[in-house]
A and B are shown apart, each in its own frame.
Chain A
Amino acid sequence: MVTLGTVYFYICAALALGGALAAVSARNPIRGAMGLLVLILAMAGLFLALHAQFLAAIQLIVYAGAIVVLFLFVIMLLGPSATSQRDLRGLYPRVFSGVLFVLAALATMVLVVRGAKYVVLPGTPRAFGSIDSFGKDLFNSGLVPFELSAALLMVAVLGAVAVAKGKQGESKALPAEPVEPQEKH
């Protein structure tokens, strides 16, 4: 049965797939960033269809608004050097493993869809997905993982600093000294 919801889902899914493909395959980094933007917008649309309005809004503000813009800044700062030369090394293995992976993923999907019993997941309450209920969930039942995710963010920031700072104060290793020729006794 085709409902408006299904049509909406397929449109968003097709846009997301197209955007992802463009982001991966574009040689011009600006086009790649635009493909990413399409993917993010389509994902926000999918979230909306799941009644997750807050998540959709956050997706738009954080990813589309902040991260893609950051990418664009970096690409523009780098200028023409951001476009990489076409690299044909290992083309066949790359294409072969890509195709193999897609086939494996498709086989997995077919296997899952054909044999799946549809489990009715717990229904969503009326206010599901609103900022209000999201906040209540986050600070009540989900408090522990929320607090623990602080460690994850901290590690990510620290890791970025550690990797970015690496070049300063680090000198080339000294060449090793050769061993003296041994005297025969």
Chain B
Amino acid sequence: MPLALALSPFLVLGFGALLIMLAEAFGSRRGGMALGSTIVLFATGLTAAGLWMYGLENLKGLEAVAPWLLLDRFTLFFQMLLCLGSALAALTAGGYLPEHELDRGEFYALLLFATFGAMMVSASGDLLTLFLGLETMSLGAYAMTAFRKASPRATEGALKYFLLGSFAAAILLYGFALLYGATGHTDLAGISKVLRAGAVKDPMVVTSLVLILVGLVFKVSAVPFHAWTPDAYEGAPTPATTYMAVVVKAGAFAMMLRILLTAFGDAQSMSWSAGWPPVLAGIAVLTMTVANLVAGRQESVKRMLAYSSIAHAGYLLVGVVATMRAPQQAGASVLFYLLGYTVSTAGAFAALVLCGSRGRETVSYEDLAGIGRRHPAVALPLAFFALSLAGIPPTVGFFAKWFVFRAAVESGFYVLTIVAFLNSVLGAYYYIRVLVYMYMREPAVGAPVAVPMRSGYVVAAVILSAVMVIVLGVAPSDTLDVAVAAALSPG
């Protein structure tokens, strides 16, 4: 029984997803799907929150599912985070799909099952369940990207995402196979034990680490494995873009932290001279710089947000690198950043959805021109979330960056922090550009003009994200304490 209690987030989400699927198949009314999915996701998140308060140490028998699933505070934190991001995507879908005549219930079932996969990823302590969860999450994301079948652009983006994603999964699997061959274990703790005993220097282990890093970096869409991101983000229906930007990214970072800190958490793997930190630091610098430079040149707001999500992966990688010297603090800063990024990005996409309506979807900067004067109520949230993504106080974006940079500085990564700081200044350019277009430009004569849509669901998503952005931006310390308690310690 205690085991069922500890597994309850999985059970609630799994049964909820089945219910939603059956309701779609046999129900006659279409309307409540978004609401139902949101309720299921919030119920799951609240179950995880309840477990957090009750304390997992009071539950016995959790080792029955170990090492397949590790039920710890790290898992619970990610369960809450993933459910929040997914619920915001479901709310956005509740307005977006009917408006754009894509209202098919499979979307919600896919969303819920893919979130289940992401929760599996964050809980896994074994390479097998890790891969199962990753594929569940990715397959759902591929299908959601291809959801708008009539659009060639969506099909192109989905195909690119699917092919490159499968390729990256194959490379990751190759790395897993070599790691198993070198250590004889698939569970992360067992691998770590063998590596500590001296297998770290084995070329097979080094090769497997490189291959695994390639797979992980692809999933978080960092440069140079980011080529699919703008196309997939632009082609997908916006709620699916929200899901990819928020849930898939969080799941991939959970996987990265689990593998790097648990399996490769020994002294040598975490050293600057012979481990993964310098590789990730290089990728972080490359990711931030390239993404911010390219984002400034985009004409489509969705593509700009895609590059922005790549740039944020770069800042997050800075935090991951800093776990080398300050695992608790830097790990917590990564978790907090993920939370801030989730609410800001999901809010920005929801606000973008709100700005457009059928046939008049806002895609480019030109579409947004002058909307601040014509429709101030929908322009304000978008401006607000853009400011949060840029990291301007009092929004959560500021504190998220602040904590990551502080962790990096206190671990002695001065150069890396300076590069990250300069990059966030550079990044402010294209977020402010959204505001300039909305408030200081008028649409060109004869150009199509965006008309905002009306939807209670999307408004709810915007309000929920906005409240969280403000609350976390004004009083971040309680949530940071939660993140500190959830952070993984190496080994």
Contact = CB atoms under 8 A, between A and B. Distances in A.
Contacts of B143: 155, 158-160, 162-163
Interface stretch (B48-56, B103-111, B397-405): B103-111
B359 A151 contact: no
A152 B203 contact: no
A179 interface: yes
B110 A155 contact: yes
A151 B184 contact: no
B253 interface: no
Nearest to B182: A119
B264 interface: no
Contacts of B139: 152, 155-156, 159
Given A117-B202, A151-B117, A145 B21 contact: no
Contacts of B107: 162
A83 interface: no
Contacts of B449: 176-179
A152 B136 contact: yes
A161 B106 CA distance: 8
A106 to B, nearest CB: 13
Interface string B6-30: 0000000010010001000000000
Given A119-B183, A177-B448, A155 B117 contact: yes
B476 interface: no
B129 A145 contact: yes
Interface residues of B, number: 59
A91 interface: no
A171 B129 CA distance: 40
A149 interface: yes
Contacts of A88: none
B447 A178 contact: yes
B106 A108 contact: no
A151 B115 CA distance: 10
Contact of A166 (B100, B149, B182, B361): B149
A178 B17 CA distance: 43
A80 interface: no
Interface in A130-185: 144-145, 148-149, 151-152, 154-156, 158-163, 165-167, 169-179, 181-182
A149 B132 contact: yes
Scoring A116, A121, A148 by chain B CB atoms within 10 A of each residue's CB, the highest score goes to A148
A114 interface: yes
A116 B142 CA distance: 37
Interface in A73-124: 108, 111-112, 114-117, 119-122
Interface in B130-147: 132-133, 135-136, 139-140, 142-144, 146-147
B120 interface: yes
B203 A151 contact: no
6 contacts: A148-B136, A151-B117, A158-B113, A163-B149, A169-B101, A173-B100
Interface of A: 108, 111-112, 114-117, 119-122, 144-145, 148-149, 151-152, 154-156, 158-163, 165-167, 169-179, 181-182
